[in-house]
Structure formats: structure tokens, C-alpha cells
């Protein structure tokens, strides 16, 4: 099965990978501007359309007064279709910092349901890993930051990075993992108990999640 690819309203630099036939593309509200600009026909259009400013034909319309963000609506839809991997473009660098934080929580929502998601912004990608690991291939450059996401993250190991860590604990009250660096060697970020929010230079592409 392919990925559920969601276009949100904020900016992003470019597609991180080609869209395949087995992928399911959702334009969430203002994300429709991105699909139109890229010449992509989304499989679904949904949202409350307060960002887009009009209701497109054939869209699944939700009220503005709702509990879910438009990104969360799209994630729920993808889960209902059976997708376990998600890529959310335009989900990091918008003018609303609160929506960026909401998208971090959406990544946790996916992890809690056995799925995995990546946010793609202008220059940065982000993911949450729960009781598992992210592996980056040799040749990666630039910064990578690792934060506790939620309760204390225990059994945290960072390999192949400039600042290594072995079986450590990261807490929500101190940013110990900020501004680490790739060294060009294969790198692995793992946690035995808890969740980590990981942000890295988007030019390095996608890690392997396990």
C-alpha cells in the first residue's frame, strides 16, 4: 500500500519524492492551492475552507467550529482507508505557530495508532517515533534535533551523530537533544519507552522507520 499524501496550507519547497499511483492524495483546505500549482489532481478535497476562502466543487465540507484541524481530518480519513504511512506537505512553516504544534500532536496521534507520519516544510522535516527507531543513511549533512514528546522518553540512543547518547532519558523540561549534527555516517535514533519528536534538514530525505 502506498502513502496518504496530504497537502496543507503552509509553504513547502518542493515535492520530496514522486507521487505514485498507489498513493492517496488529499488536499486539506488551502492545500488545494498547492495541488493546483503542481498540476496534481487530488483524490479528495476536504476541510472547512476558511483558509481557501471558497468551497471547491466536490469537496467534503466540515464546519469551522469543530475539534479537528483540517490536517487531522485528512489524517483520520487516511487511517479509515487503511493507510499507515503519511506525508504532510505545508505543515511546518505557516504563519500560525499553534497549527505547527497541532501538527506535532497529529504525528503522535498517528504513532498511537500504529501509523507513522512525516511533516515537510520549506527546509525541515519532522517525525515522531514511539518505542522504535529512525535510521538515516550515510551521507546526511546538517542538523538534527531530538526532543522528548510527552512523558519522559527512556532508553534513548543516538548513534552516528556528533553528540552520541546511550540509553539516556530525555524529558519535556530540558532541550538536551537540540542542534545535534549528522556526521556523514549512518545514523540511528531510537527510544525504548516513550516518544521522540525529531526534526532534520529536509535535504536529507526520509529515514527508515522501525
- pLDDT at residue number 196: 98
Q: Are 24 and 17 in contact (CB under 8 A)?
A: no
Residue 5's DSSP bridge partners are: 25, 87
- pLDDT at residue number 75: 98
* Residue numbers of the chain with a pLDDT score lower than 70: none
- Record the pTM: 0.95
**What does the H/E/C string look like for 44-100?**
EEEECCCCCCCCCCCCEECCCCCCCCHHHHHHHHHHHCCCCEEEEECCCCCCCHHHH
- pLDDT at residue number 184: 97
- pLDDT at residue number 1: 87
Does domain 129-209 bear CATH number 3.30.70.1290? no
202, 10, 8, 7: which is closest to 94 by C-alpha?
10
Antiparallel, parallel or unpaired: β 44-47 and 60-61: parallel
Domain ranges of the chain: 4-122, 129-209
Reported as a single tens digit per residue, the pLDDT across 13-42 is: 899 999 999 999 999 999 999 999 999 999
Does domain 4-122 bear CATH number 3.40.50.10240? yes
Reported as a single tens digit per residue, the pLDDT across 165-183 is: 999 999 999 999 999 999 9
Amino acid at each position: 500500500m502506498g502513502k496518504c499524501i496530504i497537502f496543507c496550507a503552509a509553504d513547502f519547497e518542493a515535492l520530496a519524492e514522486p507521487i505514485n499511483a498507489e498513493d492517496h492524495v488529499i488536499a486539506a483546505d488551502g492545500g488545494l492551492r498547492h495541488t493546483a500549482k503542481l498540476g496534481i489532481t487530488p483524490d479528495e478535497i476536504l476541510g472547512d475552507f476558511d483558509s481557501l476562502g471558497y468551497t471547491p466543487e466536490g469537496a467534503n465540507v466540515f464546519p469551522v467550529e469543530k475539534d479537528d484541524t483540517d490536517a487531522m481530518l485528512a489524517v483520520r480519513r487516511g487511517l479509515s482507508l487503511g493507510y499507515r504511512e503519511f506525508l504532510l506537505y505545508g505543515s511546518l512553516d505557516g504563519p500560525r505557530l499553534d497549527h505547527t504544534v497541532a501538527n506535532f500532536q497529529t504525528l503522535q496521534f498517528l504513532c498511537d495508532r500504529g501509523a507513522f507520519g512525516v511533516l515537510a516544510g520549506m527546509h525541515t522535516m519532522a517525525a515522531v517515533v514511539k518505542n522504535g527507531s529512525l535510521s538515516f543513511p550515510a551521507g546526511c549533512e546538517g542538523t538534527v534535533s531530538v526532543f522528548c514528546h510527552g512523558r519522559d522518553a527512556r532508553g534513548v540512543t543516538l548513534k552516528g551523530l556528533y553528540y552520541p547518547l546511550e540509553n539516556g532519558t530525555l524529558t519535556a523540561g530540558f532541550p538536551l537533544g537540540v542542534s545535534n549534527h549528522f556526521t556523514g555516517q549512518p545514523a540511528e535514533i531510537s527510544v525504548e519507552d516513550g516518544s521522540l519528536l525529531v526534526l532534520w534538514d529536509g535535504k536529507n530525505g526520509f529515514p527508515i522507520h522501525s
